[in-house]
Amino acid sequence: MAQQEKIYKGLSISSGISIGIVHYCRKEKPSIKPSYLLSEKQIEWEVGRFKAAIDESKKEIEKLRSVYSSKTEEEEGILAGHLMMLEDPMILEAVESKIRLQKKDSAQVFQQVVMGYQERFSEMNDEYFQERVDDIVDVSARIINHLCNTQDKKISNAPKGAIVVTDSLLPSDVIEANSNNILGFVTKKGGKNSHTAIIAKAKGIAHVSGIDPLILQREKAQCIIVDAINGQVVIHPTDKTIEKYQKIIANQDRLYQKIEKERYQAPETQDGYGIYLMGSLDTLDDVDMLCDSAIKGIGLYRSEHLYYKYKGVPSEDQQIAIYSMLSKKMERRSVIIRAFDLEISQLEKYSAQEFAPMACRAIRALLKNQIAFRTQVRSLLRSNELENIHLLLPMVVDVSEILEAKKIIQEEEQKLIIEDIPFAPLKIGAMLEVPASIIMCETLAKETDFFSIGSNDLMQYTLAADRNASNLSEFYSIIHPSVLRLLRFIVSSANRYQKKVFLCGELASDTRLISLFLGLGIQNFTVSTRRIPYVIKAIRSLSIVKAYEKTEKALEFLNADELVQFLEED
């Protein structure tokens, strides 16, 4: 008797649809022996054993970098970050001193130290630190496997046509995943903006989280469909359902080939209203694709990629090489470089206890560590030969941060004048990512040249919903009336001082919402390289007059469900 088709709802992590055979991948936790007191001779042997495990883990990551030759800066940055953790003196010294003090074996002590870091980062209600938890788990798993002499089950061993079903994925798992073999992921845990999600998106692997693998095992699921567009998994699909999804996949392939041509069309509405469309540069490999698109330049380059690439703050010359290349490639089109969005512990040797959650990150960290910021400012000034480079200050909260940053920029300009080194001034923008900056945006507008709205963080902090947590997905809607009103307030404040407003992040790339933003008066969008043709197509299908009318109606709704239903019915 055929088993009944069932649909399980989850959270879409990496969009796409795939049909394949289930490959269950249960990761066994290494068995750590019960602790016992070590003799003096055993202590030194344990310290040496721990150092050997660190060295072996480094070799594995270096092999990953060479064998898989990461194609995106995200992957390179993640692996470089893992190597930096393995070289972090705070962790290494803490473990070594605890082995000697507690006289316990290295696996026990290391697990104790790592759990302390995990707990601290998990308690921090901040996306950046939540992402670090995955990295800590990833790196620590390698080390403990070596200390316990256990072999981790590799996801890369999955057969061709596999849908990997597991509790959770580590960043290195997805880096190793062969997208020719692995068609999709189904996991219990995982968030939209985690490192694993970023890599899965880059590889085009459909991923749905929030579904317990035990459910699929009890159902004896074999052939399943991962619908990561609607965030669901179909088990025991009927022939009719399989045929339906096969047609969807074929249509998507044809649509993609067709829609790619939109990349070269002017982004303007049917009634001739031109939109200032910019590209978000996720990897330097996409520069040429951006150059060939009908865009006005680079709306966001995340310069912290360079930090991971060079395993620390890059030198002035290293930065100039990249910034100059971007400036010249764009041929006078704008290039907006976001200053290093890093935490203070990455710039200086602070321990995790020395700073509170979100207290010293981004612009705050840069103002505290002025050496890194001044080096970046000098590099940008010297690279701005074509006068098309702009500096974006991340996570601004207070106008004093803008004023202090501008003072540093002016000081570096004076130094270059004295040194007789040519440069060109920079336009300065503020990234609005937290409600406080929006409340103060009229004051910020007086001291900046433009605004860039970081919609991902803005949604998260406004709705108090961690978008990395699948169990909180119900609170993280595609759009919320409060966010719509915040955007309207930003546009109104910016218009009063004739300052441009760029919308960045997932909201800017969501074609369902473009008409709402046009109706609010947002004229500048920064979207990911691969979403450019879709956004251009959406813009060219709209009327600005109808967009205004639609937005006026949308602003009347008082909850997210009503608003989303209105958008879906339109």
* DSSP class per residue in 279-324: EEESSGGGHHHHHTSS-SEEEEEETHHHHHHTTSSPPHHHHHHHHH
Residue count of the chain: 570
If pLDDT is split at 50, 70 and 90, which confidence band does 470 have?
very low
Query: Are the C-beta atoms of residues 554 and 563 closer than 8 Å to each other?
Result: yes
pLDDT reported for residue 281: 84
Mean pLDDT of the chain: 86
Average pLDDT over residues 252-281: 89
CATH 3.20.20.60 residue ranges of the chain are 265-295+455-570, 296-432
Average pLDDT over residues 315-335: 95
CA–CA distance, 323 with 330 (Å, rounded to integer): 11
pLDDT reported for residue 477: 63
pLDDT reported for residue 192: 74
Lowest mean pLDDT among 47-61, 90-104, 125-139, 189-203: 125-139
pLDDT reported for residue 516: 95
CA–CA distance, 498 with 533 (Å, rounded to integer): 29
Residue 29 pLDDT > 80? no
**Percent helix, percent strand, percent coil in the chain, to nearest 5:** 55, 15, 30
Residue 195 pLDDT > 50? yes
pLDDT reported for residue 356: 47
CATH 1.10.274.10 residue ranges of the chain are 40-148
Residue 93 pLDDT > 60? yes
CA–CA distance, 202 with 208 (Å, rounded to integer): 15
pLDDT reported for residue 46: 87
CA–CA distance, 300 with 305 (Å, rounded to integer): 12
Per cent of the chain over pLDDT 70 is 88
Contacts of 54 (CB under 8 A, 6+ apart): 86, 92, 143
pLDDT reported for residue 394: 94
pLDDT reported for residue 113: 84
Higher pLDDT, residue 194 or 429: 429
Q: What is the pTM of this model?
A: 0.71
Average pLDDT over residues 16-23: 93
Query: Are the C-beta atoms of residues 119 and 457 closer than 8 Å to each other?
Result: no
Question: May I ask the CATH architecture of the domain 6-26+154-255?
Answer: 3-Layer(bba) Sandwich (3.50)
Average pLDDT over residues 253-281: 90
If pLDDT is split at 50, 70 and 90, which confidence band does 475 have?
very low
Higher pLDDT, residue 194 or 518: 518
Q: Which CATH entry fits the domain spanning 265-295+455-570: 3.10.20.600, 3.20.20.60, 3.30.365.10, 2.40.50.320?
A: 3.20.20.60
Class of domain 40-148: mainly alpha
Q: pLDDT tens for residues 496-545?
A: 999 999 999 889 988 999 999 999 999 999 998 888 999 999 999 999 99
If pLDDT is split at 50, 70 and 90, which confidence band does 297 have?
very high
Lowest mean pLDDT among 324-333, 455-464, 514-523: 455-464
Average pLDDT over residues 306-333: 90
If pLDDT is split at 50, 70 and 90, which confidence band does 31 have?
low
CATH 3.50.30.10 residue ranges of the chain are 6-26+154-255
pLDDT reported for residue 404: 97
Distance of CA 542 to the CA centre of its chain: 30
Query: Are the C-beta atoms of residues 151 and 31 closer than 8 Å to each other?
Result: no
Residue 474 pLDDT > 50? no
Q: 296-432 adopts what CATH topology?
A: TIM Barrel (3.20.20)
Residue 268 pLDDT > 60? yes
CA–CA distance, 536 with 522 (Å, rounded to integer): 15
pLDDT reported for residue 122: 63
Average pLDDT over residues 72-98: 78
pLDDT reported for residue 567: 85
Q: How far apart are the first and last CA of the chain?
A: 43
